[in-house]
Amino acid sequence: MYPQDAPTPDASSSPGVDWNLLPDPVRHRLAEVAATAVGEMPTPEVPTSLRPFARFAPAKRARLGGTVLVRELREDGAFRTAVVAWWEEHRPGELAAGPDEPITAAAAAVLTGAPEARAAVASVARRGDASEARAERDEALARADKLQIEVERLRAELAEARDQARGAAAEREHEFGRLRRKVSEQGTELRFARDGMAALEAEVARLRAGADARLEAALAERDRERERAEAERAAARRAAAEVASARQAAKEARQGDEVRLALLLETLGGAVSGLRRELSLGGGGPRPADVVAGSGGVRGEAVVNPSALDAVLALPAAHLIVDGYNVSKTGYPELPLADQRTRLVTQLGALAARTGVEVTVVFDGAAVIAARPRGARGVRVLFSDAGVIADDVIRDLVAAEPQGRPLLVASSDKAVAESVRRRGAHSVPSSVLLGRLRA
């Protein structure tokens, strides 16, 4: 209620009044009076500490400089006298004490040093204490009313909760009775079920005994059937072995007949050749491979156009040897190798069917396993052994052919073409053969 931050009181202030213990209302009223007076006093009469506040409005001056104003009023008797004189001159009667203005009366008594200043200040302090007490009492009564309302609300909620609990207890009791009756009924059903289960178990035991006997009989029959099946499979294997042996014997006999027939044909051929020589029938004339235009005798030539290729393929007993990957990679390099082989062999099969020429195609790679495509009849497919390239296989094929047989090697490899021409075979570039296959 009483501020403690004001400076130490001065002896020249009102007798019996401690400015440090002035009630806040009295201090605020003194500050308002001084703030109004300072705003209208000549500057020389205003203390130096209050001049910064002189340009403010009175209310703002009292709010911001209240402590300084009160301190100057207490310590500076001249300033206090000037304030009282200015107020009596410009606003006479406002500082007079009255029953309705105890705060103003107390402030005036303190400011003028009147003997009743102490009593007036004490009266304001008592009124402030009474006001605070009444405010505290009113606040306590308001809190009590709120607490009473809250208690009533809690009592109502408690009564409602008690009623709900009683209803829930009654429902639980009813449910418990229903469940108890249901358990009793289920107990009766359980006894009937157990009796039925016992009867079923007895029936199952009887059926199981009969099923075991039938199962043993079925297993015995199965074993007998299995033995008969094993005997039949053994007989079938023996029959298959005999058939395979008979087929092998027939194959060997056929091969022997073919060998004997070949020898007979060779003998007849030799006899005919001898007769030709004896009769001077010109047996030393040119062979079919020598009649191709530009063959040049023993050395083969390059076939560089489709018409020359057709002429060679039309010769009797002509043999076309194809460098597989060299041709397929020239014609369709975008395909995988397996698809390249299939496509080339299929096209060569169609060529062999149209011309009747013997066709052999050689691929690199002993580890490649390739099935002949459908429609590749008449095409011999070879793969080089490990460590051997297809070029060497082609050279061996050319060397193995009899002198004078028309041979044609399809490859764009210059080394292969040159080597086979030295052995009497003709060479054709891969592009020329591909053009003939497409045609």
DSSP secondary structure, 103-153, as one string: HHHHHHHHHHT-TTHHHHHHHHHHHHHHHHHHHHHHHHHHHHHHHHHHHHH
Q: Is residue 391 assigned to a domain?
A: yes
- Please state the domain count of the chain: 2
For 360, the 3-state DSSP assignment is strand
Residue pointed to by tokens 């304001």: 124
In a domain, 204, yes or no: no
CA angle centred on 116, ends 110 and 118, rounded to 5° = 65
What CA–CA distance (Å, rounded) separates 385 from 365? 7
Residue 280 per-residue DSSP state:
T
**Gyration radius of the chain over CA positions:** 68
- Angle CA 86–92–97, to nearest 5: 110
Alpha helices in 303-359 (DSSP H): 306-313, 324-331, 337-355
CA-based nearest residue to 322, from 263, 390, 389: 390
Distance from the Cα of residue 7 to its chain's centroid: 77
What range defines the domain where residue 28 resides?
19-145
> What are the distances in angstroms from CA 390 to CA 314, 341, 354, 382, 434?
26, 14, 26, 9, 19
DSSP 424: T
| 260 domain-assigned | no
Domain boundary among 85, 112, 145: 145
DSSP 302: B
Question: CA-CA distance, 439 to 432, in Å (whole number)?
Answer: 11
Report if residue 103 sits inside a domain.
Answer: yes
215 domain-assigned:
no
Within-domain flag for 131: yes
Q: Phi and psi of 393, rounded to 5°?
A: -65, -40
Is residue 48 in some structural domain? Answer: yes
Q: Is residue 249 part of a domain?
A: no
Q: What is the pLDDT of residue 326?
A: 95
**pLDDT the model gives residue 363:** 93
List the pLDDT tens digit at each of the 439 positions of the chain. 333 333 333 434 455 577 766 887 877 887 787 777 776 677 777 777 777 766 677 676 666 566 777 777 777 777 777 778 777 777 666 555 454 478 877 777 777 766 776 777 777 777 765 566 566 667 767 877 788 898 889 989 999 999 899 988 889 889 988 898 989 888 888 988 888 899 988 889 889 888 888 888 889 889 988 888 888 888 888 888 888 877 887 777 777 667 667 656 755 665 666 566 556 544 444 444 444 443 444 578 889 899 999 999 999 889 999 999 999 999 999 999 999 999 999 999 999 999 999 999 999 875 565 555 554 788 999 999 888 999 999 999 999 998 888 999 999 999 999 999 999 999 999 999 999 998 7
3-class DSSP state of 204: helix
Q: Residue length, the chain? A: 439
- SS3 call for 98: strand
Helix boundaries (H) for 279-336: 306-313, 324-331
Kindly list the strands in the beta sheet with 426-428, ordered across the sheet, starting from the edge strand earlier in the chain.
379-383, 358-363, 319-323, 407-410, 426-428
In order of 263, 271, 273, the CA distances from 267 in angstroms are: 6, 6, 10
Helix (H), strand (E) at residue 408: strand 407-410
Domain boundary among 145, 180, 197: 145
Integer Cα distance of 17 and 2 in angstroms: 13
Residues 9/18, Cβ–Cβ less than 8 Å: yes
Using the 3D structure, point to which of 145, 180, 214 is the last residue of a domain: 145
Predicted pLDDT of residue 212: 85
Residue written as tokens 């369709």? 332
Record the pTM: 0.36
* Domain CATH code at residue 333: 3.40.50
